[in-house]
Amino acid sequence: GQSIAVFTSGGDACGMNGAVRACVRMAVYLGCQAFMIREGYQGMVQGGDQFVKATWASVSSIIHVGGTIIGSARCKEFMEREGRKKAAYNLVQREINRLIVIGGDGSLTGANIFRIEWTGLLDDLVASGKITPQQREKCKDLHIVGVVGSIDNDFCGTDLTIGTDSALHRITEAIDSIASTAYSHQRIFIMEVMGRHCGYLAMVSGIISEADYVFCPEAPPPLDWHERLCSKLQKERECGQRLNIIIIAEGANDLNGEPITAQMVKQVIFDRLGWDSRITVLGHVQRGGATSAYDRILACRMGAEATVAVLESTATTTPVVIVLVNNQIERIPLMGAVERTQAVNKALQDKDWAKAIALRGVA
Ligand code: F6P
């Protein structure tokens, strides 16, 4: 049978393990040899025991575990052609030319560059005598499939990325804990949630926690937000509310693109109302912990489909990324989705908020 390899890359996310497990088990089920590559592209460049032959049993008891048990790393070497040549050598040595990458848009872009260069890399390896023409022939095309793992839900073309739901569980637990102490002392809490370029976690957190105000990157508040925020807080108190929750995405900014930070919000409330408030930065707590039921199922569905897709791929197949659309698992062109995701980030940089939202909204 064929050999496939799966690896995780970029920031970890709950559900990555479930996806690795599903990829491996579907490969075994279909009579293929599955490899897991440790430490992402770094392991692929290093070779040796970073390549692990996987069996049905080697992925037992990981579906519930957060993070990625096979590791993830940022790899400078893979950014260079020389590094990618080493990675190609390590793959060809094991007769692997089918890869499943579980990661964010950056990791998926890296895989596509590798795919485009593949033939040239193999030619170089043959020319320098590192691999034989027969080896080259056996692995002549590189087939890649993407699965998106990211707690930010920042990838265009999918309703949800793996890890988002678990992160929301962590955030919900944290906000519930904060709310009980805030209620007792009639306090205002400003909670910072993750999401560099994407306000999804912030928006959903705001709804589930009945927050009074949400700051997120794609929808900066009006320039007079200071006044609006404070009058909202005041009104809530007049209505008898004992606490206030304000959610702020770590990447929040104003209409001029200037960052809005939790500390700034705290200061505004103090200066205008003379009210004290507390800040809680949730940080990496959001990325860890047990994997939610939904992320486990999503990972199983996406991982299994990724293996089928990578095995079905031929020399003329456009590389795909596995997505969820209307609760169905689908394959869509990888680079179209990556490019749209990157266009959103560019629109945010250009302070074109309407464009960012429009790009993100189209499935
Ligand atoms: O993309 C996932 C994410 O958790 C973002 O929400 C956050 O901005 C970033 O990664 C943090 O990166 P690091 O773990 O490198 O500090």
Q: What is the DSSP string of 118-161?
A: HHHHHHHHHHTTSS-HHHHHHT-S-EEEEEEB-TT---TT-S--
Q: Is the pLDDT of residue 363 over 80?
A: no
User: Is 152 an active-site residue?
Assistant: yes
Confidence band, pLDDT 50/70/90 cuts, at residue 74: confident
Is the beta carbon of 197 within 6 A of some atom in ligand 1? no
Task: Specify the pTM.
Answer: 0.96
The H-or-E segment that residue 105 falls in is: helix 105-127
Q: Is the pLDDT of residue 114 over 80?
A: yes
Residue nearest to atom 13 of ligand 1 (CA): 11
What residue type is assigned to position 48 of the chain?
Answer: G
What pLDDT shows up at residue 362? 56
| Rounded-to-integer distance, Cα 215 and Cα 166, Å | 21
| Rounded-to-integer distance, Cα 203 and Cα 67, Å | 24
Buried b (16+ CB within 10 A) or exposed e, 10-48: bbbbbbbbbbbbbbbbbbbeeebbbbbbbbbbbbbbbbe
Identify which of 104, 96, 129 has the alpha carbon closest to the alpha carbon of residue 12.
104
Count of Cβ atoms closer than 10 Å to residue 315 Cβ: 7
| Rounded-to-integer distance, Cα 79 and Cα 149, Å | 20
Q: Work out whether strand 320-325 and strand 143-148 pair parallel, antiparallel, or are unpaired.
A: parallel
Q: Is the pLDDT of residue 6 over 50?
A: yes
Residue nearest to atom 14 of ligand 1 (CA): 11
Residue 13 CA, distance from chain mean position: 7
Q: Which ligand 1 atom is the nearest neighbour of the CA of 198? A: 6
The phi and psi torsions of 359 (rounded to 5 degrees) equal: -65, -40
Q: Is the pLDDT of residue 46 over 90?
A: yes
Residue tagged active-site, from 152, 154, 165, 295: 152
Q: Is the pLDDT of residue 140 over 60?
A: yes
Confidence band, pLDDT 50/70/90 cuts, at residue 226: very high
Residue nearest to atom 10 of ligand 1 (CA): 11
What pLDDT shows up at residue 204? 97
Q: Where are the alpha helices (DSSP H) in 163-221?
A: 164-185, 200-208
Pocket-testing residue among 9, 107, 152, 166, ligand 1, by greatest number of atoms within 8 A of Cβ: 152
pLDDT tens for residues 257-309?
999 999 999 999 999 999 999 999 999 999 999 999 999 999 999 999 999 99
Average pLDDT, the chain: 96
Under DSSP, the state recorded for 219 is S
- pLDDT (average), residues 152-174: 97
Is the beta carbon of 161 within 6 A of some atom in ligand 1? no
